[in-house]
């Protein structure tokens, strides 16, 4: 083999084995084989799994129009078949004259000289390299020699590229698993503090959809024996679709199911890897969902208890005030009637009128406390002013009120009112305070409420049997608000509440 050709072969070999894409290796092989031998046409036939037929046929030197005109690609009959059954180099001066020749299709370019070399990978026939129509004369010994070496290089390169692909696929798979684990950890972290069931469900469907790259995701929760759709993300394809259903199991109890439907990008169907990922995800989602379910049951229970306690308080109030007054009135009037004495009766009527006036006043303020009319009609500021006036009248505590005129959504206004009402009640009951400040400001899409007293203070961390502070938090949660209680024994108390308005 001449020096030039040898040098070329080495170069080509080097560039072939560094190519990591199997398809690119084949393309290079076709080009280089033509260049080295001066063949007009080159082709690679790839054998099918049983090594009986060609399953692929790649060509170089034939333009696309001719390709189309030829029609079906060869399957490996005729001379090509000879190389399949007997994988050894085959060189012919006239391929059409070979006894096995099958004849070319009509539109096929004329081909006479032929050189075929098997491609052997790991000791097994993998395919063949065919060269035809040498520019000048027949293919030579040197052509054959060079093509055999080239085929060896190509075999190594294909093997390399394949190995690389498997490694790459493994790495992708590993990366996906890690991503899955990260999402799962992230979700447990994100959900750790979240006890609002709807938010948990929303997060779970959205994250699982992104994790599996699905068109849609759904959660159905178990209610008795039935499963009820509870949350959805993405657009449901409207047909059955490709789907994975993963059970959400928490402490041996099926909480619900998590389903992903159809791949969003590309048309790769869901595979085992996706299934494993979704199952792992569903398992940690189950914990979050079950926790949130318990929390919402807890919250409901507490809300019921709180309203029960509130009712008891009103009943006591009505009993202690109004009922006592009415009972006293009845005694006064019936005593006077029994006496039959006109002067006494006139006095009793005067007394009764006076007591009725007081009772009406008491009842009115009780009703105002239950639902202050001023709140709906005039807004937070006037309602708080009359609340504070009543408070100052009943206690010896002075209140500095600094409240914005702004109006808010009805539920926000009544939350603010109830908060101040409970804060003042607590101050009267527990604080022994002398001064109180109530401040309400609104800006930047947020309301800030501060109630400050100079009383005894307390440790907010300690559990209490009362409902007041719990009620505050729950009312605030309903309007997405938060509260912070700053207090310690001897240092007075500050309540800071924030409610978004935008």
Ligand X SMILES: Nc1ncnc2c1ncn2[C@@H]1O[C@H](COP(=O)(O)OP(=O)(O)OP(=O)(O)O)[C@@H](O)[C@H]1O
Residues that bind Mg ion (CB under 5 A): 426, 466, 468
- Compute CA 471 distance to the chain's CA centroid, rounded to the nearest angstrom: 31
Can you tell me the distance from the alpha carbon of 169 to that of 52, in angstroms, rounded to the nearest whole number?
29
- Stretch binding ligand X (CB under 6 A), from 83-91, 119-127, 357-365, 450-458: 450-458
Q: Are 287 and 250 in contact (CB under 8 A)?
A: yes
Q: Provide the Cα torsion 423, 429, 432, 435; round to 10°.
A: 30
Which residue, 294 or 307, has its beta carbon nearer to ligand X?
307
Q: Looking at residue 117, what DSSP letter applies?
A: E
467 binding ligand X? (CB under 6 A): yes
Residues sharing a CB contact under 8 Å with residue 213, sequence separation 6 or more, in sequence order: 263, 264, 265
CA atoms within 13 A on the CB side of 206: 8
What angle, 0 to 180 degrees and rounded to 10, lies between the N-to-C axes of helices 141-192 and 197-212? Answer: 180
User: Which residue lies nearest Mg ion, judged by its C-beta?
Assistant: 468
481 binding ligand X? (CB under 6 A): no
Residue of 466, 473, 477, 501 that binds ligand X (CB under 6 A): 466
**3 state DSSP class of 175:** helix
Which residue, 183 or 421, has its beta carbon nearer to ligand X?
421
Shortest spacing between CB 490 and ligand X, in angstroms: 10
- Stretch binding ligand X (CB under 6 A), from 247-255, 291-299, 367-375, 457-465: 457-465
Q: Are 440 and 404 in contact (CB under 8 A)?
A: yes
Which residue, 55 or 439, has its beta carbon nearer to ligand X?
439
Which residue, 262 or 453, has its beta carbon nearer to Mg ion?
453
Residue of 277, 431, 438, 447 that binds ligand X (CB under 6 A): 431
Site for ligand X in 289-328 (CB under 6 A): 309
Shortest spacing between CB 486 and Mg ion, in angstroms: 17
Shortest spacing between CB 425 and ligand X, in angstroms: 7
CA dist list (Å): 19 to 126, 129, 156, 221, 350: 19, 18, 11, 52, 111
- Compute CA 501 distance to the chain's CA centroid, rounded to the nearest angstrom: 26
Shortest spacing between CB 426 and Mg ion, in angstroms: 4
**Which among 188, 186, 260, 185 has a CA at the least distance from the CA of 217?**
260
Q: Which does 458 bind (CB under 5 to 8 A by kind): ligand X, Mg ion, none?
A: ligand X
Residue of 111, 332, 469, 479 that binds ligand X (CB under 6 A): 469
Residue of 250, 391, 417, 458 that binds ligand X (CB under 6 A): 458
Tokens standing for residue 225: 């024996």
426 binding ligand X? (CB under 6 A): yes
Residues sharing a CB contact under 8 Å with residue 114, sequence separation 6 or more, in sequence order: 79, 90, 91, 92, 94, 95, 130, 131, 132, 139
Which residue, 273 or 369, has its beta carbon nearer to Mg ion?
369
Q: Which does 467 bind (CB under 5 to 8 A by kind): ligand X, Mg ion, none?
A: ligand X
Which residue, 406 or 469, has its beta carbon nearer to ligand X?
469
Tokens standing for residue 322: 């109004």
Residue of 143, 274, 413, 453 that binds ligand X (CB under 6 A): 453
Which residues are near ligand X by CB under 6 A?
309, 426-427, 429-431, 453, 455-458, 464, 466-469, 493
């Amino acid at each position: 083999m001449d020096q030039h050709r040898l040098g070329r072969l080495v170069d080509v070999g080097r560039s072939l084995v560094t190519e990591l894409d199997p398809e690119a290796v084949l393309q290079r092989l076709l080009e280089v084989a033509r260049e080295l031998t001066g063949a007009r046409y080159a082709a690679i036939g790839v054998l099918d799994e049983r090594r009986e037929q060609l399953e692929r046929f790649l060509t170089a030197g034939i333009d696309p129009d001719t390709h189309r005109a030829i029609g079906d690609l060869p399957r490996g009959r005729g001379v090509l078949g000879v190389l399949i059954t007997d994988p050894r180099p085959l060189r012919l001066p006239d391929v059409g004259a070979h006894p096995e020749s099958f004849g070319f299709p009509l539109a096929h370019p004329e081909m006479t000289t032929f050189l075929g070399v098997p491609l052997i990978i790991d000791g097994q026939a993998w395919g063949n390299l065919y060269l035809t129509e040498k520019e000048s004369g027949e293919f030579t010994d040197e052509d054959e020699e060079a093509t055999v070496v080239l085929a060896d290089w190509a075999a190594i390169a294909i093997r390399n590229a394949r190995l690389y692909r498997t490694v790459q696929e493994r790495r992708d798979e590993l990366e996906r698993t890690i991503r899955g684990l990260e999402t799962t950890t992230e979700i447990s972290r994100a959900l750790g503090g979240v006890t609002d069931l709807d938010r948990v469900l929303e997060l779970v469907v959205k994250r699982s959809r992104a994790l599996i790259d699905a068109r849609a995701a759904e959660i159905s929760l178990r209610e008795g024996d039935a499963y009820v759709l509870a949350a959805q993300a993405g657009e449901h394809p409207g047909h059955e679709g490709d789907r994975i259903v993963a059970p959400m199991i928490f402490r041996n109890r099926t909480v619900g199911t998590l389903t992903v439907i159809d791949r969003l990008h590309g048309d790769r169907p869901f595979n085992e890897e996706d299934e494993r990922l979704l199952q792992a995800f569903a398992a940690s989602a189950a914990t979050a969902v079950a926790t949130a379910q318990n929390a919402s049951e807890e919250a409901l229970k507490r809300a019921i208890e709180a309203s029960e306690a509130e009712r008891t308080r009103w009943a006591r109030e009505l009993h202690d005030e109004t009922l006592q007054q009415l009972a006293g009135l009845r005694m006064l009037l019936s005593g006077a009637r029994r006496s039959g004495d006109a002067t006494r009766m006139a006095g009793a009527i005067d007394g009764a009128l006076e007591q009725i006036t007081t009772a009406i006043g008491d009842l009115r303020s009780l009703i105002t406390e239950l639902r202050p009319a001023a709140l709906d009609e005039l807004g937070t500021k006037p309602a708080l002013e009359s609340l504070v006036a009543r408070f100052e009248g009943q206690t010896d505590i002075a209140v500095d009120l600094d409240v914005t005129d702004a109006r808010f959504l009805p539920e926000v206004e009544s939350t603010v009112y109830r908060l101040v009402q409970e804060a003042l009640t607590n101050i009267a009951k527990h604080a022994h305070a002398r001064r109180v400040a109530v401040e309400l400001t609104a800006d930047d899409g947020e309301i800030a409420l501060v109630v400050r007293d100079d009383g005894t203070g307390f440790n907010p961390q300690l559990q209490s049997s009362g409902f007041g502070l719990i009620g505050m938090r729950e009312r605030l949660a309903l309007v997405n608000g938060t509260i912070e209680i700053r207090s310690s024994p001897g240092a007075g108390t500050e309540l800071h509440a924030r409610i978004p308005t935008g």
